[in-house]
């Protein structure tokens, strides 16, 4: 299993640079569909949760799309929704208390994430 991966955010306009994600744990969703992992992200991800002020988040949940898992990172295209759940600490994840704030591609190295980053297009 990957303990470290890199996220290239594609629609977090305020902070499009690649981010290092350190695996914390797998998260079980109430719906039971798709793999989710809780990661510590660096640099922090600035975003507004619901209608609140801009905040920097140190932990995010990556919700893998297309049946992919964390084990697939580094083996082809792996895309995940970026989810913020400020009140989540443990147990079953109630998606109703979360907000999807973007989408990103996941990579085994920083260099791969940088190449996939929108920053490369500027």
**Residue 114 falls within a domain, yes or no?**
no
- CA 4 to each of CA 18, 55, 95: distance values in angstroms, whole numbers, following the listed order: 13, 24, 24
**pLDDT greater than 80 at residue 116:** yes
- Which residue range is the domain that position 40 belongs to? 4-107
pLDDT (tens digit per residue) in 43-87 = 888 887 667 788 888 999 999 999 999 999 999 889 999 998 887
Report the domain count for the chain: 1
The Cα–Cα gap between 31 and 34 comes to: 9
pLDDT (tens digit per residue) in 32-52 = 678 899 999 998 888 876 677
Single pTM value for the model: 0.86
**Residue 47 falls within a domain, yes or no?**
yes
**Residue 18 falls within a domain, yes or no?**
yes
**Residue 115 falls within a domain, yes or no?**
no
pLDDT of residue 72: 93
**Residue 37 falls within a domain, yes or no?**
yes
């Amino acid at each position: 299993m990957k303990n470290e991966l890199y996220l290239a955010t594609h629609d977090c306009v305020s902070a499009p640079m690649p981010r290092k994600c350190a695996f914390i744990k797998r998260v079980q969703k109430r719906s039971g569909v798709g793999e989710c992992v809780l990661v510590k992200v660096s640099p922090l991800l600035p975003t507004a949760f619901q209608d609140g002020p801009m905040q920097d988040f140190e932990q995010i949940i990556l919700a893998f799309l297309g049946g992919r898992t964390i084990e697939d990172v580094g083996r082809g295209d792996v895309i995940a929704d970026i989810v913020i759940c400020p009140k989540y600490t443990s147990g079953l994840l109630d998606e109703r208390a979360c907000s999807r704030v973007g989408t990103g591609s996941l990579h085994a190295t920083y260099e791969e994430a940088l190449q996939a980053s929108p920053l490369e297009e500027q």
